[in-house]
Structure 1
């Protein structure tokens, strides 16, 4: 069953103030976990360190999202989250266990140069990756809730670029049913993704 249409992205953020709201946190982690992980890998961290960054970012969000929500001029949520992730990645790259070479090794200075200030290319990349992650999450939700042929009609024509007529032949359904299936899937994807489209 598809989750009920979410109110808004803003309401999800408000719900994060409640650490016991498992559904809100599951949804939040499903979208932002892979996003922060890829961001950390892209900054030059090893997979284990990227996992640590994800954990630290979500801990930091849990501890401070209430204060962020209460700020009258708080800016965009993704900008705030990106700042947290950037700072934690920076600390991870510069960490020096037992006074030795930092975790990033001899390449740390070069890696630090890739962690630019807010508003730079990383912010744009973060936004692009965010939209991709929202689509992946919504697609997974929809695919689990509908008939396989309905999903396949959408995927063949919308993702793989197969013609409507060819998809109908492959799936042994009418051309009209392919159009209907596509429309249903796209509508459900939009409903699920809408909560993440609110200006933050």
Structure 2
């Protein structure tokens, strides 16, 4: 595949049906991970509709963007597998809903580039195929509690649909496979989570292991 093969038209990100409730919640989790890291210099790979970017900039965080699609007006037009940035140029790299658009044999190269350009952390979010059972309860004066059971569709083999080459939860891409892949790159997995209010995505928070840099 050509590194700069654009799969999704820019207008797709700005349709009302794209910005649904679950996606807003997804953005909230992305922002929380960045705020908790206290990072001041961010790289966002895959600009999408720019809502996360706009929020970060409005709270005073320096963000640079990279995307293969020039019509989305990223700061830099480039592929995730070949980032034209210096080593450890950013405190935090956000790569949300991007890696599944790469063939499996290119994913490791993208992870290696993320590892190279971050000096501290990265957040990767991925589509998670499977069934979900959730239970949420709230007791007065106490925080809301939730319980979630995700049943991956491990028996299914993903078929390329024009956008996703693979999805977490299907054959060859279970959570353990994702963890192994990122750890082989040199990252430490700080947190791997799915949420009851956004069960169709896996959030993987990574910490750079400087002993292998």
From the two aligned structures, give the one with the greater strand fraction: 2
Give me the TM-score of the superposition, normalised by structure 2.
Answer: 0.27
Higher gyration radius (CA): 1
Give me the TM-score of the superposition, normalised by structure 1.
Answer: 0.28
